[in-house]
Amino acid sequence: MQQILNFLIKHKTFLLFLLLITISLFLTIQSHSYHKSKFINSANVLTGGVYEVTNNLSSYFNLKKENEILLEENNRLKSILYNVEMDTLKAVFKYPILSSQYKFKSARVTKNSYSATNNYLTINKGQRDSITQDLGVITSKGIIGIIDYTSKKYARVMSILNTNIRINAQLKKTNHFGSLTWDSESPQFVQLLDLPIQSPISVGDTIVTGGRSTIFPKGIYIGQVASFKIDDTENSYKVNVKLFNDMTNLGHVHVINNLDKSEISTLNSPDE
């Protein structure tokens, strides 16, 4: 017993070092798996609060740009509105509340990163605003990511610029789909893998979300095909997609809540 104690006292520095490095390696490895990094994230009171304060200041500098984006979107929506016959419009909006499957909430990005290999954003809405895990986040131009952890007032978003993310995506003109990943090379490009070789793809085609998952509705814009090649297995394409969104400059975002989500997921896993 005496010897063990002596050993512990003699090597206490090394043992402390070992303990602390094990904790940090544990946290690191945990953060590499989806939905596990509960302890270390920027959606807590301390870091979320600090980011909120600084973002309150810096968001003023982007007001002009934000206004332009809003105007652009208004223009687009108005051009749709006034180019459709009134009768069809009435038919569409006849049951506006009953038929709405998706609910939107706006939020502001208080922290953004795009240079690491696993990027996360922090937004200033949380459980208090009924935001939960696994909701989709988009802007008017395209998708941003998926909510990955929430606290009372803040939520962390796993950006599409994260090597752990997989999003179902498809060609706009046909229904061929693949999964969207990121190879951590450039914040402007993401990769669409496993797109079947039968799909009639060409440079400049638009890629949209697939709607096969419950997170994103079908048809939200992602980006344009920049280049593509046949991958090693020779039966699917690897497509380089240029994002419509400028991920380095994000202001306001929308969070999508799919109200039928629990219903769909119980359908898909009936035996559990």
Strands (E), the chain: 102-111, 118-123, 136-138, 143-150, 155-162, 167-171, 177-181, 189-196, 206-209, 221-230, 236-243, 252-258
Residues that bind another protein (rule: CB under 8 A) add up to a total of 41
CB of 20 to another protein, least distance (A): 5
CB of 61 to another protein, least distance (A): 13
In angstroms, the CA 262 to CA 272 distance is 14
CB of 82 to another protein, least distance (A): 41
- Site membership for another protein, residue 117 (CB under 8 A): yes
Length of the chain: 272
Among the residue ranges 113-121, 134-142, 202-210, 211-219, the one whose residues contact another protein (CB under 8 A): 113-121
In angstroms, the CA 55 to CA 49 distance is 10
Place of tokens 């270390």: 40
| Interface of this chain with another protein, residues 137 to 176, rule: CB under 8 A | 156
- Site membership for another protein, residue 104 (CB under 8 A): no
* Binding track, positions 226-265, relative to another protein; x by CB under 8 A: ----------------------x-----------------
Show Cβ contacts of residue 34 under 8 Å, excluding neighbours closer than 6 positions. Answer: 148, 158, 164, 165
Query: ∠ at Cα 192 (187, 198), nearest 5°?
Result: 155
| Start-to-end CA span in the chain (Å) | 51
| Interface of this chain with another protein, residues 179 to 218, rule: CB under 8 A | 184, 186-187
Find the radius of gyration of the CA atoms of the chain.
Answer: 23
Show Cβ contacts of residue 206 under 8 Å, excluding neighbours closer than 6 positions. Answer: 171, 172, 173, 221, 223, 224, 225
Options 113, 164, 191, 257; binder of another protein; rule CB under 8 A: 113
* Binding track, positions 7-46, relative to another protein; x by CB under 8 A: -----xxx-xx--xx-xxxxxxxxxx----x--xxx-x-x
Among the residue ranges 47-55, 133-141, 189-197, 215-223, the one whose residues contact another protein (CB under 8 A): 47-55
CB of 112 to another protein, least distance (A): 8
Site residues for another protein per CB under 8 A: 12-14, 16-17, 20-21, 23-32, 37, 40-42, 44, 46-47, 50-51, 54, 111, 113-118, 120, 122, 156, 184, 186-187, 248
